């Protein structure tokens, strides 16, 4: 009798697990955008306004960074921590590429 009850319980749990996994795949939290890189209000901060949505992003790079005035497209993931940049949605950029088809105004680098 116990074995029969355990078998039924196991089948119910297995069915629930299969049903839970049958739903749509979770939405990716990746961010894709393109626009012109601008200097942020704080030192060394880079921001970009997406050309399609108008959303402002605070771009965080590991390694090579684009120059202020470069047109780029990027993929990244939202950053949940605190930043010193204080503007735009913080995004940790995972990949980026220059996009010369964007008409960006080149601004001179600030004098040190």
Taking only the tens place, the pLDDT of each residue in 1-41 is 556 555 555 554 555 444 445 555 555 799 999 999 999 99
Per-state percent for the chain, helix, strand, coil, to nearest 5? 20, 30, 50
- Measured on CA atoms in the order 112, 68, 47, 59, is the torsion positive or negative? negative
Residues 104, 37 contacting (CB under 8 angstroms) = yes
Q: Is the dihedral of CA 83, 88, 90, 91 positive or negative?
A: negative
Second CATH level (architecture) for the domain 31-98: Beta Barrel (2.40)
Per-residue pLDDT, averaged over 44-66, amounts to 97
Contacts 24+ apart (CB under 8 A), 52-55: 55/89
Q: Looking at residue 26, what is its pLDDT?
A: 55
Residue 104, token pair as written in the block:
């960006």
Q: How far apart are CA 14 and CA 8, in angstroms?
A: 10
- Quick one: average pLDDT of 42-61? 97
């Amino acid at each position: 009798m116990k074995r029969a009850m355990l078998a039924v319980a196991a089948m119910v749990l297995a069915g629930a697990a299969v049903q839970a996994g049958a739903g749509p795949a979770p939405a990716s939290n990746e961010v894709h955008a393109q626009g012109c890189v601008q200097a942020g209000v704080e030192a060394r901060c880079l921001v970009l306004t997406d050309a399609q949505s108008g959303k402002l992003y605070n771009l965080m790079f590991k390694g090579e960074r684009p120059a202020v005035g470069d047109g780029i497209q990027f993929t990244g993931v939202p950053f949940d921590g605190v930043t010193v940049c204080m503007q735009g949605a913080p995004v940790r950029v995972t990949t980026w590429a220059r996009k010369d088809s964007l008409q960006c105004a080149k601004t001179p680098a600030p004098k040190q």
